[in-house]
Structure 1
Amino acid sequence: MRIAVAADERVGVAEAIVEELRRRGHEPLPHGALADGERDDWAWAAEAAARDVAQGRADQAVVACWTGTGASIAANKVAGVRAALCGDAETARGARRWNDANVLALSLRLTSAPALTEILDGWFAAARSDDESDLANIRHVDEISPSA
């Protein structure tokens, strides 16, 4: 699977994300601080990875910044993206299952290497729910448009 990866700095598990994805047989597409010549601010880096997903260049993405919150917010601004900030494996499983999340957001401050492995295990093990109630929620989220 092609997975866009963005981080605003090379601290914490930023580089480990790329290594772990490769180890699992995925093709990482780096952005931000993980790519030469790209703007590495969190908003720009997360947007670039999210656009890869929205435009079909990547199947999924992993975005990260110090708290993970900014990267999640920026990614969610891109149409067709459902980014979820996950701090543990169960949250990652739920984000994929009930929310059909296609972008995983992580905190570079809080995510340890062992937690990263567990979160990715949960993320990749889960499939979208086929329950009509869950699908209705996903459709409704897709229909919500920004308003003042």
Structure 2
Amino acid sequence: MRVAVGSDDVYSIARFLVDYLRKKGFEVKLVGALATGKPYPWPDVGFEVGSMVARGEVDYGIVICYTGTGVSIAANKIKGVRAALVTDARNAEGARRWNDANVLALSARLTSEELAKEIVDAFFNTREIDSSEVENIEKLKTIDNA
């Protein structure tokens, strides 16, 4: 599976996640500070990762900034992106199951390594969309075209 991971700074949790994903066999593409080694504007991180997902260059994206809010807002500006800011594994599972999220947003401030593993595992292990939410997810696609 191909995943773009972007961060606005070289946070230890961002580096940890890149290593964790690679060890699990993911093809990881680096964006922002993870690619440059220096601070990078959070709107650009969200936009670049979201664009990669929307164009099909990667299957999913992960965006990280201090709170996770800015990168999630920026990613959601891209047509076809459903970025979810999550703080635990249950929310990550729900974001996939009920919202068909394709970009995971994380807070560098709040996310420990153990929590990051739980969140990422829940997000990527949830493959089935709740059938009761298909209509709502289709509504999002209609909104994208409005």
TM-score per shorter chain, which class? over 0.9
Residues in 1 aligned to 2:52 and 2:82: alpha-carbon distance in whole angstroms: 13
Corresponding letter in the other structure for 2:143: I
Partner of 1:7: 7
Partner of 1:126: 126
Residue 57 of structure 2 is aligned to residue 57 of structure 1: yes
Corresponding letter in the other structure for 1:36: T
Residues in 2 aligned to 1:32 and 1:44: alpha-carbon distance in whole angstroms: 8
Instruction: After the TM superposition, list the runs of 4 or more consecutive aligned residues in structure 1 that deviate by more than 2 angstroms.
Output: 36-39
Q: How does 1:84-123 map to 2 (within 5 A)?
A: 84-123=84-123
Corresponding letter in the other structure for 2:98: W
Match of 1:4, SS? strand
Partner of 2:135: 136
Partner of 2:44: 44
Match of 1:139, SS? helix
Residues in 2 aligned to 1:6 and 1:76: alpha-carbon distance in whole angstroms: 14
Residues in 1 aligned to 2:144 and 2:122: alpha-carbon distance in whole angstroms: 30
Q: Deviations over 1:61-87 (max 9, x none)?
A: 000100000010000000110000011
Corresponding letter in the other structure for 2:127: A
- Percent identical: 47
Corresponding letter in the other structure for 1:80: G
Q: CA RMSD in A?
A: 1.8
Partner of 1:67: 67
Residues in 2 aligned to 1:15 and 1:52: alpha-carbon distance in whole angstroms: 20
Size of the alignment, in residue pairs? 146
Q: Deviations over 1:19-76 (max 9, x none)?
A: 1110110011101000128971111011111111100110000001000000100000
Match of 1:84, SS? strand
Residues in 2 aligned to 1:3 and 1:126: alpha-carbon distance in whole angstroms: 15
Question: What TM-score comes out, normalization by structure 1 length?
Answer: 0.93
Structure 2 unaligned residues grouped into runs of 5+: none
Structure that is richer in helix per residue? 2
Alpha-carbon distance change, 14 to 83 in structure 1, aligned in 2, over 3 angstroms? same
